[in-house]
Copies of this chain bind each other. A is one copy, B any other.
Amino acid sequence: MKDSELKRVIEASLMAADSALSMDRLIRLFEQDVDQPTREQIRKAIASLQQECEGRGVELRKVASGWRYQTRPDVQPWVARLWQEKPPRYSRALLETLSLIVYRQPITRGEIEEVRGVSVSSNIIKTLLEREWVRVVGHKEVPGRPALYGSTQQFLDYFNMKSLDEMPSLAELKDLDLMHPELELPRPQTDKKSSLRVVTASGDLAEGQETRH
């Protein structure tokens, strides 16, 4: 197959597919052919197609499970009007649970609850499993053998990432030991004074902010 032909087939396939196509899946499109393209040829065709998207309303992106065409974010306001219903919004509880699973995987429900300080509703876990953003990756060998959750390729696909490396980095945890001097216990006697001081200080600050607003 000529390179130009290959490009046409790959463009059409990626555009017609409902999901991202992996290299294996693309290779398989040609397995019945006499002269099968190599992975290198396919990769080159994709690179060329990506270039051709420059300046257009769609782009050819690589995500975790493969390549896919998608609309560019800047045309979103118009394209979104094609659909009546608004995209689903996710509750903070769900997003916090998700972020713990993503950053701390593998993690049990109990461990999530420990960090969040509240119980995690079964509905949240169910929703995340149904959306296939998380999955049970094993069981922790402690009494009760609770399920360990991890993130999935679909999660990465949905949030437009190739791998977990692309996740925004987690805020640094301040080292408490280093700040120990600041932590020094206020003596019972000085406590009142110090809180008063704080009150005074923050009172000023607050007012300052108030006017700034």
Interface, chain A (partner B; CB < 8 A): 4, 7-13, 15-17, 21, 25, 28-30, 32, 55-58, 69, 71-72, 74-76, 78-79, 81-82
Whether A16 contacts B78 by the Cβ 8 Å rule is no
Distance in Å from the Cβ of A194 to the closest Cβ of chain B?
37
Extra pairs beyond A12-B58, A29-B82 (16, CB < 8 Å): A4-B55, A8-B72, A9-B75, A9-B79, A10-B57, A11-B56, A12-B78, A12-B79, A13-B57, A13-B82, A15-B57, A15-B69, A16-B71, A16-B82, A29-B79, A29-B81
- In the complex, residue of chain B having the shortest beta-carbon distance to the beta carbon of A1: B78
Instruction: For the complex, give the distance between the alpha carbons of A172 and B128 in Å.
Output: 55
Instruction: For the complex, give the distance between the alpha carbons of A79 and B29 in Å.
Output: 7
Instruction: For the complex, give the distance between the alpha carbons of A21 and B79 in Å.
Output: 12
Find the residue from A7, A15, A78 having the highest chain B CB count within 10 A: A78
Q: Which residues of B contact A74 (CB under 8 A)?
A: 8
Distance in Å from the Cβ of A32 to the closest Cβ of chain B?
8
What DSSP secondary structure best describes chain A's contact surface? helix
Distance in Å from the Cβ of A16 to the closest Cβ of chain B?
5
7 pairs, A vs B, C-beta closer than 8 Å: A7-B57, A9-B78, A11-B56, A12-B75, A15-B15, A15-B57, A29-B82
Whether A78 contacts B30 by the Cβ 8 Å rule is yes
